[in-house]
Amino acid sequence: MYTVIAVIAGYLLGSISFSYLVAKKIAGIDIRQHGSGNAGATNTLRVLGKGPGILVLLLDALKGMVAVWLALWLTDGHHLATALAGAAAIVGHNWPVFYGFKGGKGVATTIGVIAALSFYPFLWSVLATLLVIYLTRYVSLGSLVFLVLIPIFMFVYRDPQEFIWMAIILAILGFARHSQNIVRLLQGKESKLGQTKK
């Protein structure tokens, strides 16, 4: 019963679209109708600037962390329940019930979920991701690197298998959500950090 509550709560937390709310508050716009059309931190950064972009990144990560913390508390640290609640938060971010199931790609929320589940895999994956973004200026490429490294580092640090399998599934989901970005990367047409979306 507590597992079900944790999963539902995770999904509802994930469904809070901070990109949408911040854009409405600051600029009176629906962020999904501007830039890439994605309700996430990167598009907020491109459309509204660094401040709003960083704020959305932090808030989206925080809701993933809260979903995990709530599940840990409700289920007394049950590994599968916690993994499912974290995954539900990411699903909620991608397909939010409050906003017509049109959300973001879930990377920031995934960052929050992983940070709450397993700190060292999160830390090393984020450092590698930041290096990739710094060298290439491609946020999407950094996001894909993050998704690949998380289950690898979780395996290295011998995290619970429920967490590792969740990370693998999230990586597959993340790659599917970034399919258009992957095509543009291969074609050399992907927008770089600091470059306005055409």
- The tokens describing 120, both together, are 């060292």
Alpha carbon 154 to its chain's center: 17
pLDDT tens-digit profile of 109-139? 999 999 999 999 999 999 999 999 999 999 9
Residues near 172 by beta carbon (within 8 Å), at least 6 away in sequence: none
Burial class (CB in 10 A: 0-12, 13-18, 19+), 53: buried
Residues near 180 by beta carbon (within 8 Å), at least 6 away in sequence: none
DSSP annotation of 87? H
Residues near 182 by beta carbon (within 8 Å), at least 6 away in sequence: 140, 144, 175
Task: State the Cα–Cα distance between residues 118 and 24, nearest whole angstrom.
Answer: 34
| pLDDT-above-70 percentage for the chain | 98
pTM comes to: 0.90
Task: State the Cα–Cα distance between residues 194 and 172, nearest whole angstrom.
Answer: 27
**Which parts of the chain register pLDDT below 50?**
198
Can you say whether the dihedral through the CA atoms of 94, 100, 102, 108 is positive or negative? Answer: negative
Task: State the Cα–Cα distance between residues 138 and 110, nearest whole angstrom.
Answer: 18
Q: What residue segments make up the domains of the chain, in order of their start?
A: 2-187
